[in-house]
Amino acid sequence: MSASTFSVPAAESVEVPLGSVERELGRRLKGAYGPGDAPVHRARMSNLIVYCTDDVRAAEVESLIPEIVKIHPARVLLLVADEHLKEADVKASILVRQAGHGTRLCSEQITLRAGGHAAKHLPFAVRGLLIGDLPTNVWWANSTPPPLAGPLLDDLAENAQQVIYDSLGWTDPHRGVSAASTWLKRFERSDADGRWRVASDLNWRRLKFWRRILSQEFAPAINPGALDSVTEITIEHGPHAVTLAWQLAGWFASRLGWRIQETKFKQGLEIAFQISAPHGSLRLVINRLPEGPSDIRHVRIACSIAGKPGALNFTSEDDAKLSVQPEGLDVAPRTVNIKPTSTADIVGKQLSDRDPDPVFRDAMVAAHVLAQAVLR
């Protein structure tokens, strides 16, 4: 075996007794290099606990892990709590992968499966497998919104610094968004003992580019007074992207000090709000498109630029481009490149981004108010 390469004996999961996980991992890593070779390094910046509730979702997540650990090397603890499984115990399996960007680096994954009532043992099984002195992240990878997850999530997140969830595809987005704001307030913490914990929604990260381009376009240095002249904002989103639209609306509302005056609601199609803003009143419309990608597709903002009334249209052309088209304004039309981001990419980046985000929290509070207006 050459000094610069190594190979993992078999890149597949091997079932091991729960109590032997560390020993077996060590043995597999040792078997990855020959006598006289330099040892293989385990690359890990964090513990990443991923929680799924069925095998299909677990398989989806597992396919993302190589890419995630390339961006943020971590010890991955994949927990599968499948009520259809008959096993009453927690079953463990291990997998060692060669990291993509280092010839002598590898990442490790421990999968714990539990059926029925055994699921409640998972938080206990996990505690013994966390690497001390490293940050711990929990990725809540199922469609139940964290506020409705019950005590299991609290147990899993007991020693975590970050819980990552994804509101894309929540089955009842209005209730989910509404509950999330209260849950965030309870769940996030920062106490005098230095214990802190944040919660991060991958959808908020997906909105990063939209927030950035909108804030650039409406910067007073670029288009003075434009924000104070907004009369209507229309947000169009694809199926399953309702929460994205709520968050974008919540972001506008929290940043610009909006108050709801009136709500009109067409089930599954359109929600329209009459808003009172510091500069006057405006209309906010959220439209659900019948088909297309689960993303924000188009934002139209009616406003005045240089004293001329018109509108700016921001349209997602594909996953790598966004066009800016004016209507009746002296603004140059153009397209802007967007770096396409996969779920693995945003999870990987979110793992390194653990700062509390007050803008997110404020946006969720505002989104909660908007959602409540619809639920009433």
Q: Name the residues that contact other proteins, by CB under 8 A.
A: 41, 43, 45, 70-73, 99-102, 105, 208-209, 211-222, 224, 227, 255-256, 320-321, 324, 331-332, 334-339, 357-360
How far is residue 230 CA from its own chain's centroid? 30
Nearer to other proteins, 27 or 211 (CB): 211
Q: Is 339 in contact with 313 (CB distance < 8 Å)?
A: no
Nearer to other proteins, 63 or 215 (CB): 215
How far is residue 2 CA from its own chain's centroid? 40
Nearer to other proteins, 182 or 335 (CB): 335
Query: What are the structure tokens assigned to 265, written together?
Result: 């609601």
- CB of residue 333 to other proteins, shortest distance in Å: 8
Nearer to other proteins, 142 or 229 (CB): 229
Nearer to other proteins, 257 or 268 (CB): 257
How many Å apart are CA 70 and CA 272, to the nearest integer? Answer: 43
- Give the amino acid at 308: K
How many Å apart are CA 79 and CA 76, to the nearest integer? Answer: 9
- CB of residue 360 to other proteins, shortest distance in Å: 7
How many Å apart are CA 325 and CA 319, to the nearest integer? Answer: 18
Q: Are strands 74-82 and 105-115 parallel, antiparallel or unpaired?
A: parallel
Cα-only R_g, the chain: 24
- CB of residue 200 to other proteins, shortest distance in Å: 13
DSSP 119: G
Q: Is 99 in contact with 8 (CB distance < 8 Å)?
A: no
Nearer to other proteins, 143 or 343 (CB): 343
- CB of residue 332 to other proteins, shortest distance in Å: 3
- CB of residue 68 to other proteins, shortest distance in Å: 10
- CB of residue 181 to other proteins, shortest distance in Å: 16
- CB of residue 72 to other proteins, shortest distance in Å: 8
How many Å apart are CA 333 and CA 314, to the nearest integer? Answer: 10
Nearer to other proteins, 51 or 258 (CB): 258
Which run of H or of E encompasses 14?
Answer: strand 14-16
How far is residue 145 CA from its own chain's centroid? 12
For the stretch 263-272, contacts whose Cβ atoms lie closer than 8 Å and that sit 24 or more positions apart, written own/partner, are 263/373, 263/374, 263/376, 265/374, 271/374
User: Please, what is the Cα angle at 212 between 317 and 277, to 5 degrees?
Assistant: 105
Nearer to other proteins, 103 or 171 (CB): 103
| First and final C-alpha spacing in the chain | 68
How many Å apart are CA 249 and CA 212, to the nearest integer? Answer: 14
At residue 287, the 3 state secondary structure works out as: strand
Nearer to other proteins, 52 or 275 (CB): 275
Nearer to other proteins, 16 or 71 (CB): 71
Q: Which residue has the tokens 């390469």?
A: 5
- CB of residue 169 to other proteins, shortest distance in Å: 23
How many Å apart are CA 46 and CA 49, to the nearest integer? Answer: 10
- CB of residue 39 to other proteins, shortest distance in Å: 12
- CB of residue 12 to other proteins, shortest distance in Å: 23
